[in-house]
Amino acid sequence: MKNFLIILVIATIAYAVNQQKSSSSKPSSNTQLNTSSIEDQRIQKAFRNQQSDIQVKGSGSVIKVLPDDTKGSKHQKFILKLASGQTVLIAHNIDLAPRINSLRKGDIVSFNGEYEWNSQGGVIHWTHHDPQRRHEDGWLKHKDKIYK
């Protein structure tokens, strides 16, 4: 009986040590949230300070799909709500990049583009490649497909 208790104690300690090691070696589920939070904070700061021309990345949920803007360069337009609660208008140039045809309210879209301040939360544009290579290429990601 004494040997059984010793084995049980050793097994319990070994299990606890193993659990602690495996949980500390796994990336935290908050890692992506922390990255998104940092980017959201950059966008919120730019909005508060009325700054523009800032390259940003992030993601949000589509809350409204707007009609395409067909005056001048054609743009697909929709509004994203970020995790912070801030909304931004995405103006995606569909003369230079493919249109997201399957976009629906509630979809998650990730982006890399340039933030421009406006009183309603801001606009993200340059979500496409720059054919003249003078600007950082941007993109949109929807359902694991990248549009640039």
- Is 21 within the bounds of a domain? no
Residue-number span of the structural domain to which 113 is assigned: 32-147
- Is 25 within the bounds of a domain? no
Q: Which has more confidence, 122 or 25?
A: 122
DSSP string covering 12-55:
HHHHHHHHHHHHHHSPPTHHHHHHHHHHHHHHHHHHHTT--SEE
Q: What are φ and ψ of residue 32, in 5° steps?
A: -65, -40
Q: What's the number of domains the chain is made of?
A: 1
pLDDT digits (tens, 9 = 90+) for 41-94: 999 999 999 999 999 999 999 999 999 999 999 999 999 999 999 999 999 999
| CATH number of the domain to which 118 belongs | 2.40.50.140
What sign has the CA pseudo-torsion 123, 124, 128, 133? positive
- Is 17 within the bounds of a domain? no
Closest CA to 141 of 127, 124, 126, 121: 127
- Is 42 within the bounds of a domain? yes
- Is 7 within the bounds of a domain? no
Tokens of 87: 């909304």
- Is 97 within the bounds of a domain? yes
- Is 40 within the bounds of a domain? yes
pLDDT digits (tens, 9 = 90+) for 91-137: 999 999 999 999 999 999 999 999 999 999 999 999 999 888 888 99
